[in-house]
Chain A
Amino acid sequence: MIKISQLQKNYGDHRVLHGVDLEVQKGEVVCLIGPSGSGKSTLLRCINALETYEGGSIQAFGETVQRGSKTVHTLRSRMGMVFQRFNLFPHRTVLENVMEGPLYVKGEPAAQVRSEALALLDKVGLAEKADAYPEQLSGGQQQRVAIARALAMKPEAMLFDEPTSALDPELVGDVLQVMRTLADEGMTMIVVTHEMGFAREVADRVCFLHGGYLVETGPADEVLGNPQHPRTQDFLRRVLHPTTSTRSQP
């Protein structure tokens, strides 16, 4: 469904991705992990053309992804994206945020969009907040609205860029629960995350990136439970070690 080969990405003279290969099948959940600056978010952002890239190729649904190309808008509307900082539209209500895509980008009839949006808000547990503005919600609630907004486009794949990193620890669980449900329903998902517990439980495959290289990839249990590469071992030891990390383990 999504095929990345020999992807190279530079920021000026600095190369942040050194020829990354990654293929994601329909219905697969792939978690990208790695230290900050490893290129995992950049990789994700290349997939829906929020970033340009200098070498290699990205194919999504059989079409080439490149920022500025004619098909990029259509491609993006087939992929949902969830951001670390939520990026809800602050001047619109929760319901309007969820309706925005299908109503204005796809031009679907308002009544249908509205009832589908309400159903999605119900699904993420926020039906009663439909008329609230984003500022009135907690971070965890905002992120669940952001997921509903992305799902409203009926995407064929969902991209998550550290969806729980900006949340207070006690709010992380609700967001992960929504993502878990999506995975169970067979949604194709690529998730950049620091939540190792989530990755182990939900991911079909885990990819470890370091310094712009895809260092290790494999089934979640293998990469997280029995990492082969010393970099992966070192990273996991630091992330999972309770005295050097404050990350909670759900």
Chain B
Amino acid sequence: MKLAEFLQNAQDFLPILLQGAWVTIQITVLSFLLSSVLGLVLALLKLSPIRALSWAASTVINVIRGLPIIVQLFYIYFVLPEMGIHLTAFQAGVIGMGIAYSAYQAENFRTGIIAVDQGQREASEALGMRSFMMMRRVILPQAFRIALPPYGNTLVMMLKDSSLVSTITVAEMTRQGQLIASSTFQNMTVYTLVALLYLLMSLPLVYGLRRMEQRLSRRKKA
């Protein structure tokens, strides 16, 4: 294939693919936020001294981890309407990805919380803190630092896996690529562009996260 032809096609396809990239970013950011909140709740429940809560959280986490993400997305998009819950493809995508990844986020947070030194709890208790304040002021800020590498890793994985919502017709980048490719048969051009655009989003993210980790660990050692 000639370079000139590639560039000509790229010029035609890029605006549509960039629209898709914008949807990809929205899906990623929103479902990442949702998975963080759900994951934190699941982590705190799993660490709860009340057995029933801890058991319930573990069960939820295991069920989510045991299901393929695509099946979860299909269930939310195709089955929930039969129960009277109607969601747009975009909403179903965000909720599905958010729930699917909350199990991994829960593990990230739980590991971070457990890794905070026991002495920090005792020092907070000795100051008269109640458990909510201790979590908010002492444990979680430190747990977040410990959990930052796996947390950032999850964000990168979610950026890539957001392509899964193309299966429920969300017009994100992979879906847009598919549509262009099937109507123009320019498979190589389209998917090369799609791959490049994913790298353009994920690589800066990877480098940015690494710098953030380095900055935090430097400050800790300074």
Contacts and interface: CB of A to CB of B under 8 A. Distances in A.
| Central interface residue in B127, B130, B141, B219, by most chain A CB within 10 Å | B127
Given A80-B126, A83-B122, A135-B221, 13 more contacts: A48-B126, A73-B130, A76-B125, A77-B128, A83-B126, A87-B120, A90-B220, A100-B127, A101-B128, A104-B137, A136-B222, A149-B127, A150-B127
11 contacts: A50-B125, A73-B129, A83-B119, A83-B123, A91-B141, A91-B142, A100-B137, A101-B128, A104-B129, A135-B222, A150-B127
B120 A89 contact: yes
A149 B130 CA distance: 17
B128 A105 contact: yes
Residues of A in contact with B, size category? 20 to 34
B145 interface: yes
Interface of A: 48-50, 73-74, 76-77, 79-81, 83, 85, 87-91, 100-101, 104-105, 133, 135-136, 146, 149-150, 153
A105 B126 contact: no
Nearest to B141: A91
Given A83-B119, A135-B222, A89 B138 contact: yes
Nearest to B123: A87
B144 to A, nearest CB: 9
A212 B130 CA distance: 30
A50 B128 contact: no
A104 B137 CA distance: 9
A87 to B, nearest CB: 4
B92 to A, nearest CB: 38
B120 A153 contact: no
A105 to B, nearest CB: 5
Contact of A90 (B126, B128, B129, B142): B142
Interface in B204-222: 219-222
A17 B21 CA distance: 66
A105 B133 contact: yes
Q: Which 7 A-B pairs have the closest CB atoms?
A: A77-B128, A81-B126, A87-B123, A87-B119, A101-B127, A76-B128, A105-B128
B145 A87 contact: no
Nearest to B118: A87
A150 B129 contact: no
A49 B126 CA distance: 9
Interface string B169-213: 000000000000000000000000000000000000000000000
B133 A104 contact: yes
Contacts of A73: 128-130
A77 B126 CA distance: 7
A88 B123 contact: yes
Interface string B110-148: 000000010110110111111001000110011001000
Nearest to B131: A73
A48 B133 CA distance: 18
